[in-house]
Chains A and B, each alone.
Chain A
Amino acid sequence: GAGVSQSPSNKVTEKGKDVELRCDPISGHTALYWYRQSLGQGLEFLIYFQGNSAPDKSGLPSDRFSAERTGGSVSTLTIQRTQQEDSAVYLCASSPPNAPHEQFFGPGTRLTVL
């Protein structure tokens, strides 16, 4: 594909349910990032995968949040027992090898927790 794709584009869930958000990076990009955009907190870094290295999870807000990246490509961000404050747009980005400055963003998944 031409760019980073994310699914679903919109997700509405009830408080306490688990959700999974998917990101397909640009083919050949070795680094993948998750960010969150919310009204109260702006744009925040969540987690970063680089090749086979251990991910940088320093931005995950709580242990209800986790992410994995299978086969160095597709990534899934999972939020367990969702809370209303998790409502936000979740953005995924990828970058080519050795070029962390060249991050290409997907369109995002808008999560609404009722």
Chain B
Amino acid sequence: GDSVTQMEGPVTLSEEAFLTINCTYTATGYPSLFWYVQYPGEGLQLLLKATKADDKGSNKGFEATYRKETTSFHLEKGSVQVSDSAVYFCALIGSSNTGKLIFGQGTTLQVKP
């Protein structure tokens, strides 16, 4: 079945450092890909998405590019802030498009001043 694998955390960075969180997927056809974020004490929020190959999703300085050839959707940010500290989840909706989100295990990011 479809699945998502993301790098294990926690990831600890200093403010203004470059962030990469790796995410790869296994799915038939062309899934839609997502990054969700869960800030401390808050609910899950959609951060960005890409629905077809080579699309780049972006929001709040974060970017991820849908790479069909490597089945990847790595999350990047050029300069992280303390306020980016959160748990990040990579997810997909399969090509059957039922809306069922399949999540990776989540990566905790801690940014220190």
State the A residues within 8 Å of B (CB): 31, 33, 35, 42-45, 48, 50, 56, 58-59, 91, 93, 95, 100-108
Alpha-carbon distance A93/B51, docked complex (angstroms)? 19
Whether B32 sits at the interface, judged by CB under 8 Å, is yes
Q: Give the interface size bracket for B toward A.
A: 20 to 34
With known contacts A91-B44, A100-B93, A102-B46, A59–B100 Cβ distance under 8 A: yes
Question: How far, in whole Å, are A48 and B98 apart by their CA atoms in the complex?
Answer: 9
Q: Which of B43, B89, B99, B105 contacts A100 (CB 8 A)?
A: B99
Whether the Cβ atoms of A100 and B98 lie closer than 8 Å is: yes
Instruction: State whether B100 touches A56 (Cβ < 8 A).
Output: yes
Q: B48: shortest Cβ distance to chain A, in Å?
A: 11
A100-B46 in contact given A42-B104, A43-B106, A45-B102 (Cβ < 8 Å): no
